[in-house]
């Protein structure tokens, strides 16, 4: 039961953080490129790699790794925004979004893992 509460609390904080960060970044961006979702997903990839590299386990991982990071990052929004870019025939933005999301996301997760192992 305690783990469920920790995941719930982390999820609440992660969802609110994603909403605020993504909206603010998108306001600054002023283009149709989904920079807000991209930014939170890349930050999340790094932070989850960091937690994993630091070998965070137990209740702390339930709170931050599963709860917060699970709600902070958003694969479903990324897929919807990708579809919207295709639908509006913004192919260059679509390919840029996917390439940056996956390649930079994996690189940041790896960097977080390495840094976490050094801590």
77 is in an annotated binding site: no
Residue positions counted in the chain: 119
In order along its 119 residues, the chain shows pLDDT tens digits of 799 999 999 999 999 999 999 999 999 998 889 999 999 999 999 999 999 999 999 999 999 999 999 999 989 999 999 999 999 999 999 999 999 999 999 999 999 999 999 99
Cα pseudo-dihedral 77, 79, 82, 83, rounded to 10: -110
CB distance 25 to 18 below 8 Å: no
The predicted model scores a pTM of 0.91
Task: Establish whether 70 is an annotated binding residue.
Answer: yes
């Amino acid at each position: 039961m305690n783990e469920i509460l920790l995941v719930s609390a982390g999820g609440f904080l992660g969802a609110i953080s994603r909403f605020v960060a993504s909206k603010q970044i998108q306001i600054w961006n002023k283009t149709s490129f989904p920079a807000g979702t991209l930014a939170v997903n890349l930050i999340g990839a790094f932070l989850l790699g960091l937690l994993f590299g630091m070998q965070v386990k137990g209740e702390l991982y339930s709170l931050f790794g599963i709860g917060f990071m699970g709600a902070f990052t958003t694969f479903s929004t990324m897929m919807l925004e990708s579809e919207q870019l295709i639908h509006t025939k913004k192919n260059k933005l679509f390919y840029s979004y996917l390439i940056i999301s996956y390649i930079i996301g994996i690189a940041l997760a790896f960097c977080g893992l390495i840094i976490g192992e050094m801590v």
